[in-house]
């Protein structure tokens, strides 16, 4: 069995840093790099992409609502077409900086509120998928497993990889428990690792207030902005490898 391990990185801005990107980059196989919407700027992107290059990590664009104050975790009212153009601007920015850092952007993963909206709203999922498709036929989509984002990419013929979250709770719909609600976050590294091992063995994901649901995944996400991200990722890597799981880039 093999699976990718990804994290959202490059989420600082100017002199302000978020998380331990250098350490996380040594532990993961794919990095979702913020590209100027919810976080980041040209220098932050460049520094993060140099770390990608040094650690031979696969890189994806991580566009989000232009809401640095809310860290992209608030829905900004926009039409699907406007969302598509917003994503194009951010993906293009990261691709430009990536060319200077000597790496190639391989996929797109929407961030935060944008990712959750695309998971439930097919029109938004289609708009993001079409944007990715028009920018480059070589770009893939990393989508929350079992959601509209995954299905939209599949229906459009765009390469799609599905992900599950190590540190987030699930609803019976397959979507994530909204932040701020009970069960939204998993902070205990052992608990997170136990849940992942169980999922890999059964294909069933525990949910809040219901029976486990079947999901498929090619990647596991650990959020890089949380205080315990490094320790959780170390524990997850250790447990997965001990269980005979190979950690390998999907792209």
- Give the mean model confidence (pLDDT) for residues 238-243: 96
Q: What is the pLDDT of residue 182?
A: 87
- Tens of pLDDT, residue by residue over 114-132, are 999 999 999 999 999 999 9
Per-residue pLDDT for 152 more than 90? yes
Question: Quick check: helix, strand or coil at residue 32?
Answer: strand
For residue 31, the enclosing domain spans 2-162+216-223
Task: Report yes or no on 28 lying in a domain.
Answer: yes
Task: Report yes or no on 176 lying in a domain.
Answer: no
Q: Treating both helix axes as pointing N-terminal to C-terminal, what angle do 112-120 and 148-156 enclose, rounded to 10 degrees?
A: 70
Q: Distance from CA of residue 184 to its chain's centroid? A: 16
Task: Report yes or no on 71 lying in a domain.
Answer: yes
CATH of the domain at 132: 3.20.20.370
Task: Report yes or no on 174 lying in a domain.
Answer: no
- Give the mean model confidence (pLDDT) for residues 212-216: 95
Could you tell me where the beta strands, DSSP code E, fall in 81-232?
Answer: 105-108, 140-144, 160-165, 204-207, 210-214, 219-221
Tell me which residue of 202, 197, 149 sits closest to 173, measured CA to CA.
149
Handedness of CA 233, 90, 53, 141 (dihedral sign): positive
Question: Predicted confidence band at 251 (pLDDT cuts at 50, 70, 90)?
Answer: confident
Task: Report yes or no on 99 lying in a domain.
Answer: yes
Task: Report yes or no on 111 lying in a domain.
Answer: yes
Q: How far apart are the first and last CA of the chain?
A: 16
Q: What is the pLDDT of residue 64?
A: 97
Question: Predicted confidence band at 225 (pLDDT cuts at 50, 70, 90)?
Answer: confident
CB contact at 8 A, 142 and 107: yes
Domain count for the chain? 1
For 44-70, letters b (16+ CB in 10 Å) and e give bbbbbbbbbeeeebbbbbbbbbebbee
- Tens of pLDDT, residue by residue over 169-197, are 999 888 899 888 888 999 999 999 999 99
Helix, strand, coil shares, percent, the chain, to 5? 40, 20, 40
- Tens of pLDDT, residue by residue over 2-30, are 999 999 999 999 988 898 999 999 999 99
Any residues with CB less than 8 A from the CB of 150 and at least 6 apart, and which? 143, 144, 160, 162
Task: Report yes or no on 204 lying in a domain.
Answer: no
Q: What is the pLDDT of residue 236?
A: 96
- Tens of pLDDT, residue by residue over 44-92, are 999 999 999 999 999 999 999 999 999 999 999 999 999 999 999 999 9
Task: Report yes or no on 184 lying in a domain.
Answer: no
């Amino acid at each position: 069995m093999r699976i990718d391990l990804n994290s959202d990185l490059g989420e600082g801005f100017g002199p302000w840093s978020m998380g331990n990107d250098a350490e996380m980059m040594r532990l993961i196989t794919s990095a979702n790099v913020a590209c100027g919407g919810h976080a980041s700027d040209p220098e932050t992107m460049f520094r993060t992409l140099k770390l990608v290059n040094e650690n031979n990590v696969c890189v994806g664009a991580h566009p989000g609502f232009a809401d640095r104050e809310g860290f992209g975790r608030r829905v900004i009212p926009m039409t699907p077409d406007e969302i598509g153009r917003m994503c194009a601007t951010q993906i293009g920015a990261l691709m430009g900086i990536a060319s200077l850092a000597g790496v190639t952007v391989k996929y797109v993963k929407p961030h935060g509120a944008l990712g959750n909206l695309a998971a439930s709203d097919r029109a938004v999922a289609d708009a993001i998928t079409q944007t990715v498709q028009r920018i480059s036929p070589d770009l893939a989509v990393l989508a929350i497993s079992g959601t509209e984002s995954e299905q939209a990419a599949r229906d459009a013929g765009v390469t799609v990889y599905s992900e599950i979250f190590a540190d987030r709770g699930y609803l019976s719909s397959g979507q994530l428990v909204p932040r701020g609600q009970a069960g939204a976050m998993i902070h205990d590294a052992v608990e997170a690792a136990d849940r992942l091992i169980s999922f890999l063995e059964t294909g069933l994901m525990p949910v809040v207030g219901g029976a486990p649901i079947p999901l498929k995944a090619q990647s596991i996400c650990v959020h890089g902005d949380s205080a315990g991200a490094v320790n959780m990722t170390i524990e997850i890597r250790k447990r997965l490898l001990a269980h005979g799981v190979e950690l390998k880039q999907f792209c």
